[in-house]
Amino acid sequence: MNAPLKLGIAGLGTVGAGLVRLLSEHRDRLSLMLGRELAVVAVSARDRSKPRDCDVAGCRWFDDPVELARDPGIDCFVELIGGDEGPARQAVETALGAGKHVVTANKALLAKHGVALAALAERNGVALNFEAAVAGGIPVIKALRDSLLANRVDRVYGILNGTCNFILTKMQDEGRSFADVLAEAQALGYAEADPTFDVGGFDTAHKLAILTSLAFGTRVAFEEIHVEGIEQITEADIQAADELGYRIKLLGVALRTPSGLEARVHPAMVPKHSAIAEVSGVTNCVAIDGDRVGNLLLVGPGAGSEATASAVASDIVDVARGLVVPPFVTPVRSLKPHTRARIGEHEGAYYVRLSVYDKPGAMAAIAKRMGDREVSLESVVQRRHKPDVSSGAGRAHVGAPATVTLITHETTEEAIRGALDAIFADGKVSERPQMIRIETL
């Protein structure tokens, strides 16, 4: 049997502890398959005294992860600290510079510094593996980096954040408000005390930046992604989507267009009959359109101790087998610049919700603004006001806003946004219009 692969693990939180347990429980089986042992010989975490659901008693302890990264007694540095700067970045750079393989689950670090880290790994002839950085236990990185190399990928998209999918699923199934379900997600540990990173779409955008580079051979460009979150999704939107035959999902989408790459994160209405509409709760999914395989859909757990530890372990197995490939498939020197397609050029149908003042001429003015931008409407639905029983009149209060739902025919995003900006400026609506893209997938 060959010499053990000596591992140093920085970060013993949920994923780190799960990884230590996995490697211990499957030690004999993995050793038999690989012809060498995967040995955790050193660890680093902030608090030595914290109780942990894993056994690291026989490991050397480092209070500073950077010191662990340069330790000559390890072959592979496993970074599970998190964050795009500070100790995580310093430790990964140190390990790569010292000629050590690196395995990380850090999507934020890769979205911001992925190209520079990949270049450092290539210069030193070591692996930089990050299967766990996107979609948890779903093996999408390996699919793009290995299995689909013979395909030209034209589109990659999916549900990449379990917190948002949990919230939207609960709103759909239980008729609850965004704020109410968010509070439950926080209580269950699915959402942080400050949930902006998740519900604002930024977590999805970090993951999409990585997938875009792998799929299209471009430099990682998080800053080029158009990002919208789910904070403005209401019960009325969920109900309208259901009546129209759709479900609302937060999608990350990247595709080729004649003018460049269209990369966007936003809520979308997807047909109820589509496979992606059935992905519920904290589950993730990634779809890949290849010119030879057609459409592939990978579905599975996007987070959690066991699923993420499984993805990290798969990267360690590749290192043990001696597999070293360019981190982003294409060597860094050959990665193309990310040429961004104008988001306004996106064409499709749109759902629009308006709170229209019940005044003469309001709808005519709205229709004119749509016509001015050559936006044609497939349907218009106005919901009646509830009777004003407090007045005893038994009829709607004249002048109160009415909810009007519009579905457009295919148009450009530039046109529909321009029309809605004009409608809001006219003062015919009580709040800024809600717009959600309809994705036929």
Q: Contact 381/403 with Cβ under 8 angstroms?
A: no
Distance from C-alpha of 349 to C-alpha of 157, rounded to nearest angstrom: 18
The angle formed by the CA atoms of residues 97, 144 and 32, to the nearest 5 degrees, is 70
- Active-site pick, 6, 107, 112, 207: 207
Instruction: Please report the pLDDT score of residue 347 as a whole number.
Output: 83
pLDDT score of 386? 52
| Per-residue pLDDT at 346 | 75
- Which of the listed CATH numbers 3.30.70.260, 3.50.50.60, 3.40.50.720, 3.30.70.2170 matches domain 346-438? 3.30.70.260
SS3 81: coil
State which amino acid sits at residue 131: E
- CATH 3.40.50.720 location in the chain: 5-133
Among the listed residues 140, 282, 279, 89, the one whose alpha carbon sits nearest the alpha carbon of residue 198: 282
pLDDT, tens digit, 9 for 90 and up, residues 261-299:
999 999 999 999 999 999 999 999 999 999 999 999 999
pLDDT given at position 431: 93
Q: Alpha-carbon distance 52 to 48, whole Å? A: 10
pLDDT at 385: 54
Q: Which CATH class is domain 5-133?
A: alpha beta
Residue 140's closest CA among 211, 88, 200, 92?
211
pLDDT beneath 50, residues of the chain = 387-397
| CB neighbour list of residue 78: distance below 8 Å, 6 or more residues apart | 7, 8, 9, 10, 16, 19, 102, 103, 104, 312, 316
Query: Is CATH 3.40.50.1370 correct for 140-301?
Result: no
For the chain, residues classed under CATH 3.30.70.260 are 346-438
207 is catalytic: yes
Q: Which pLDDT score is estimated for 390?
A: 43
